[in-house]
Structure 1
């Protein structure tokens, strides 16, 4: 089992998504930004290993305008060695990497232009994992998309688009149950049609479900992951922020709730991404809980 957090490390003084305005695009700006972003990414991964946080979601903006037609800079060749260095580090420390493309990636949109731009974004983000030399257990995570007034048609459009995706993208793509539109059962229907794994979100399941107990829902989702092609199930973990609108994530991990969730998890092996505001702080606390209950057999990091 691995614990991780998404995109930003608030303990370090760098970012993996330094960018600039589209109007000020230049190849020189791209080169500088990507160099800085990859340097920071490696620092974050090194820090994570020291803390035994072996699951990390990389932000989409490593390459500014990476899927935009304006970006004609050959970043794939210019930074091939740097991407490979990151991938070698990931493999050497048995880490797991994912991307979660932004909400504008909607494969079931009725707008062909949106679908085409979505596909290009997935190709771009998947290509970074390819440049790192990482296998298909490192994933691209998306939602089914919009409802557009017709659930059946929306699901059918997703399936049709998925079947036309490049194989390199299909091999990495997973779908997540969401909190308003597409439940775990909807995602399982898509899986049954095309074999795509379902990345389970416990909080979204609490917000939108068909009565499945958490322990059952976890196992239904886990069964969609091929043990070698996909690896163990990835999942997102969070809980409701007190006094806030339904669906708002908590600012910090609630340890009693997390311990209760581990009871539902039982002996199921999963890699858990904490979608919690204080990121690596809560991830470290979750690691401590897993160590306490014997689910994380590692020693404490040594002081620097």
Structure 2
């Protein structure tokens, strides 16, 4: 079991998603930003290893304008050695990696331009994992998208778009249940149709479900992951921020709630991404709880 956190390490003095305005685009700024982002990513991974945090969501912004038509620079070739070195470190330390494309990636949009831009973004992000030499257990996590007044048609468009995606991206794609539109049951429809694994979000399931108990929901999601192709279930963990609107994530790990959640695993191996605002601080506390409960194997995620 691994514990992880997404994208930003608040302890270190660097960012792996340094960017600039489109109007300021130049190859020089691109090269400088990518070099800085990759150097910071390496520092973050080293911090994570030192703190037993072995699951990490890499920032989508490693390469500014990575899927934008303005970016014609061959960054894949220029930074091939740097990406490979990071990938070698990830594999040597038994880290688990994911990316979560931004919400503008919508595979079931009725707008063909949005769909094509979404595919281009997935190709860009998948190519970074390819450059690192990571296998298909490194994943690209997206949502099902909008409903647009007709969920059945929206799901059908998602499936249609899925078939347009390059195979190298398909094997990395996972779909996450959300808190308002697409429940675990809806995502299971996508899995049944095309085999896409479901990245389970416990908090979203608490907000939107069809009465499935947490332990059953976890088993249903885990069953969509092929052990060889996909690895163990990746999931997002959070809880409700007290006194805030429904669906707002908590600022810091509620340890009693986390301990209670762990009782629903019943021996299920999962890699847990903490979607909690104080990031590595809560992740380190979660690792301590797993260690206390003897649930830590060789890796944990932040």
Q: Give the TM-score range, shorter chain.
A: over 0.9
Structure 1: runs of 5 or more not aligned: 300-304
1:99·1:140 contact (CA, 8 Å) conserved in 2? yes
Question: What is the match of residue 146 of structure 1?
Answer: 146
Structure 2: runs of 5 or more not aligned: none
For residues 298 and 189 of structure 1, the distance between their equivalents in structure 2, rounded to whole angstroms, comes to: 34
CA RMSD of aligned residues (A): 0.8
Matches within 5 A, 1:4-153: 4-153=4-153
For residues 161 and 71 of structure 2, the distance between their equivalents in structure 1, rounded to whole angstroms, comes to: 25
1:291·1:298 contact (CA, 8 Å) conserved in 2? no
> Higher RCO, 1 or 2 (CA under 8 Å, sep at least 6)?
2
Q: 1:156 to 1:32 in 2, by over 3 A?
A: same
Helix, strand or coil: the match of 1:57?
A: strand
1:200·1:234 contact (CA, 8 Å) conserved in 2? yes
Q: 1:297 to 1:110 in 2, by over 3 A?
A: closer
1:147·1:154 contact (CA, 8 Å) conserved in 2? yes
Alignment length, in residue pairs?
Answer: 299
For residues 200 and 124 of structure 2, the distance between their equivalents in structure 1, rounded to whole angstroms, comes to: 24
Question: What is the match of residue 234 of structure 1?
Answer: 234
Question: What is the match of residue 267 of structure 1?
Answer: 267
User: How far 1:297 moved relative to its partner?
Assistant: 4.5
For residues 298 and 55 of structure 1, the distance between their equivalents in structure 2, rounded to whole angstroms, comes to: 11
Q: 1:118 to 1:298 in 2, by over 3 A?
A: closer
User: How far 1:32 moved relative to its partner?
Assistant: 0.1
Q: Does 1:284 align with 2:266?
A: no
Q: 1:79 to 1:227 in 2, by over 3 A?
A: same
Q: Does 1:209 align with 2:209?
A: yes
Q: TM-score, normalised by structure 1?
A: 0.98
Helix, strand or coil: the match of 2:123?
A: helix
User: How far 1:164 moved relative to its partner?
Assistant: 1.4
Q: Deviations over 1:77-108 (max 9, x none)?
A: 00000000100000000001100000000000
User: How far 1:298 moved relative to its partner?
Assistant: 6.3
User: How far 1:163 moved relative to its partner?
Assistant: 1.2
Matches within 5 A, 1:141-220: 141-220=141-220
1:190·1:196 contact (CA, 8 Å) conserved in 2? yes
For residues 298 and 146 of structure 2, the distance between their equivalents in structure 1, rounded to whole angstroms, comes to: 42
Q: Which runs of at least 4 in structure 1 moved beyond 3 Å after TM superposition?
A: none
For residues 251 and 276 of structure 2, the distance between their equivalents in structure 1, rounded to whole angstroms, comes to: 6
For residues 284 and 266 of structure 2, the distance between their equivalents in structure 1, rounded to whole angstroms, comes to: 21
Q: Deviations over 1:232-269 (max 9, x none)?
A: 00000000000000000000000000000000012000
Question: What is the match of residue 224 of structure 1?
Answer: 224
For residues 282 and 103 of structure 1, the distance between their equivalents in structure 2, rounded to whole angstroms, comes to: 25
For residues 75 and 211 of structure 1, the distance between their equivalents in structure 2, rounded to whole angstroms, comes to: 48
User: How far 1:286 moved relative to its partner?
Assistant: 0.3
Question: What is the match of residue 2 of structure 1?
Answer: 2
Helix, strand or coil: the match of 1:85?
A: helix
For residues 65 and 12 of structure 2, the distance between their equivalents in structure 1, rounded to whole angstroms, comes to: 24
